[in-house]
Structure 1
Amino acid sequence: MTQRVIKPVGRGFLFLDSHPTGCARIVRDMAAQVEPRTPERRTALVIGSSSGYGLATTIAGLARYGVDGIGISFEKAATARRTASAGWYRTAETAALAEELGRSWTFVNADAFADTTKDEVLDLIAARLGGIDHLIYSVAAPRRVDPRNGETYQSALKTIGTPYSTKSLAFDDGEPVLQEVPIDVATDDEIAQTVKVMGGEDWARWIVALQERDLLKPGFNTVALTYIGSDLTGRIYRQGSIGAAKADLEQTAVQLAKDGVTAMTSVNGAAVTQASSAIPGIGLYVSLLHKVRGLETPVQQSISLWDQLTGEAPLDLDDEGRIRLDRWELTDDVQSAVRAQWESATQDNIAEVADTTWFFSEVRRLYGFDVPNVEYDAEAEVDIPWPTTTA
């Protein structure tokens, strides 16, 4: 057992340590947003269950519909020098929540891209769940090793076509700094590698593997979580190398939708996540959006997703068959107001036109800091074990 006082030490939007108590409190606060429904036993596999929308979907399904399932994430344990990753602590608390609710959950700490992980998880599904009703795919990774040939693919945050620069938000000792960030043009190889990492290939391999083991229950459906966002961030996101991967994800949904499989992408709204905070321009955009309208939380959106997946609410689909959880963000009046703030933003007024203090606090919350009712001057236990199966 190792206890120590943990402080938020890092650089930019990355912190070296995470606070276990703060991470646990965040899980409980998310669960408190969920109004339970009478559970009808459903089972799910959530790939990417420890952070962002994957975490929110796990908690919403568990607390609202009593879903049993398996969650996969790739997290780091505590060492002599560093705490465990924030996702490690969030997973431990999610497992505790599942146990309190009397639900069966197994959390697997492994590379979701690997065939060995697929074999292990499919064995667990067969033994403990008998099959699954839902698969949520929420993977945001910088690289992927293809298990078939051992080749490593690296994703790129670049534009397509011509060079581009964007306003972006940074912080210097907690103070907001407005920057102009140049974005390089992606090569054809960089685009292809980004698609290999963030596109639909691995999602499809999971579905095929489950089909081969006859582990898809009647009425099975699957969604891959995605994002479209504003024209203000389009050149680096939807029209950039990431966008090429998202387009591939959507095309994969079309290809998977056969042989009794209902496959869709779910377009979520803007949020502060560890993945999104690394993308130039996104932090500024989200700060402006929060100032203009406020955000629907990932849990609120995940509740809506589960209501649609379970048939409690009709599917809210666009013309391309995507579930839209982001309509609140992309209304004309909201986007017009955000654009006006974006265009007027300068270093002198950035703290007034955008919710920069809120955004920086949200980034710190990703690591368990700035959480109300947590005593950060007290020692905290950092050696939290990875959770065992709950039943």
Structure 2
Amino acid sequence: MSERVIAPKNRGFLFLDSHPAGCERLVEDMWQAVPAPSRIPDRAPVALVIGSSAGYGLAATIAGLARAGIRGIGVCFEKAPGRRTGTAGWYRTAATAELARRHGHDMVFLNGDAFSDEMKNQVARVLEERFGGRLDYLIYSVAAPRRTDPDTGATYASVLKPIGEAYSTKTLVFDDGGAGEVREVGTQPADGDDIEQTVAVMGGTDWERWIDHLADRGLLADGFTTAALSYIGSALTAAIYRQGTIGAAKSHLEQTARTLDERLGKLVGGRAVTSVNAAAVTQSSTAIPGIALYVGLLRGVLGHAMVPPVGQLTDLWDQLTGVRPLDLDEEGRVRLDTWELAPAVQTAVTERWNTATTENITELADLDWFHAEVQRLYGFAVPGIDYAAPVETDIPWPGAATP
């Protein structure tokens, strides 16, 4: 037993410890927010979620279980408890596994490097031995700072940089007391092979490698469908995001979807799409200059009309499973971001962005919500949790339950 009181300690948006009880409650709340299935499939579909422990990947896992009735495998890369607590994703995965077990879903969680062939082989073995050797859905939601190519051994590093010229933007930071400050930050443009390195990490190469690996093992079911999660975002953040190095990677991801869609159609009558999600507070998004300010302002405009990730992924699962038709744009992408990019919403956010200062930011953005959302990424600021009480931190990784 290793019970102790855990207080939030952070450096900016990065927290050094996570709270197991808070992470568990957050997962339970997400599950409860998913509407009950509108129909029960004759056979529970087998799904693989790559990046299942955080952000949109976690939302895809929970919505898939609670709404689409999936069984299958979640893959993530999390750190076990030790001198410090485990990562928040470690505790979220344990909580998700317990909810899946409680609701009768056969879900296995594997912890390791999704980019590696070792993990791909491990997933293939579990599919063959546990799930009848057939995969119906694959959701790809990976955000990583680096990737090692299994063929060459070369390691690539992704960067957040504009392309062509330096970029200056407003951004939002918080002091130790939670007060927000609007600052100007600058970022130098990509140089050397920054673009190629970022595409190698965050583009579609590894997604395609997963499909190739599973197809070569004969593991794709007839009608197999795969979706990679993406983001476009506002013109306010385009220079650092969609028009920057990450945007180049997202464009590569979308081109990969078109290539895979054609191949899967011929191979198993299947398809591949990208799903363009809307803005949210995630561990990945808080690292992008300007995103914190943008999301806080967006919340100030929309309030509770913002659709959380689990709501968006419920919509995606409904489209993938045929509850409602697949709704694609002219580029073949599922668009879950239309509420964010509605002209009236973007006009209102832009007006606030242009006038935002430290002095008036509390009137324009929902800073209390944003600051709490950042804390909730690590299990803090969760209603109903007694943070003065000791909590068990040595939570084991979920074992494979008996089918």
TM range (shorter): over 0.9
- Matches for 1:353-364 after TM superposition, within 5 Å: 353-364=364-375
Report the equivalent of 1:309: 320
1:193-217 Cα distance to aligned partner (Å, 9 max, x none): 0000000000000000010011111
Match of 1:267 among 276, 291, 296: 276
SS at structure 2 position matched to 1:311: coil
Structure 1 residue aligned with 2:85, among 70, 78, 83? 83
Q: Which amino acid aligns with 2:390?
A: E
Q: Which residue of 371, 375, 388 corresponds with 2:386? A: 375
Contact 2:68 2:318 survives alignment (8 Å)? no
List aligned pairs for 1:65-144, cutoff 5 A.
Answer: 65-79=68-82, 81-130=83-132, 131-144=134-147
1:39 Cα deviation (Å)?
A: 2.8
Counterpart of 2:275, as a letter, is S
Instruction: Give 5+ residue unaligned stretches, structure 2.
Output: none
**Across the two proteins, how many residue pairs are aligned to each other?**
390
Instruction: Name the residue aligned to 1:172.
Output: 175
2: distance between equivalents of 1:176 and 1:184? 25
Structure-2 separation of matches of 1:389 and 1:288? 43
Superposed displacement of residue 244, structure 1: 0.3
Q: Structure 1: give runs of 5+ residues left out of the alignment.
A: none
Q: Secondary structure at the match of 2:110?
A: strand
1:188 Cα deviation after fit = 4.2
Q: Matches of 2:298 and 2:328 in 1, distance apart?
A: 24
Query: Corresponding residue for 1:22?
Result: 22
Q: Secondary structure at the match of 2:249?
A: helix
- 1:203-282 alignment to 2 at 5 Å? 203-257=207-261, 258=263, 259-260=267-268, 261-282=270-291
Q: Distance in 1 between matches of 2:287 and 2:210?
A: 27
State the SS of the aligned residue for 1:289.
helix
How far apart are the structure 2 equivalents of 1:39 and 1:132? 18
Q: Which amino acid counterpart does residue 140 of structure 1 have in structure 2?
A: A
Report whether the alignment pairs 1:160 with 2:171: no
The whole-number CA distance in structure 1 between the counterparts of 2:16 and 2:359 is 30
What is the 5 A alignment of 1:315-354? 315-354=326-365
The separation in 2 between residues aligned to 1:277 and 1:149, in whole angstroms, is 32
Task: Percent identity, please.
Answer: 59
- TM-score for both structures, normalised by structure 2: 0.96
TM-score when normalising by structure 1: 0.99
Q: Any idea what the Cα deviations from partners look like across 1:156-211, whole Å, max 9, x if unmatched? A: 00000111100000111111011101011001401100000000000000000010
- Write out aligned runs for 1:376-391 (5 A): 376-390=387-401, 391=403
Partners of 1:34 and 1:331 lie apart in 2 by 24
Q: Equivalents in 2 of 1:52, 1:187: separation in Å?
A: 30
- Counterparts of 2:363 and 2:204, CA distance in 1: 40
**Superposition RMSD in Å:** 0.8
- Correspondence 1:288 to 2:292: no
2:124 partner amino acid = L
CA contact 2:161–2:240 (8 Å) conserved in 1: yes
1-structure distance, mates of 2:45, 2:192? 42
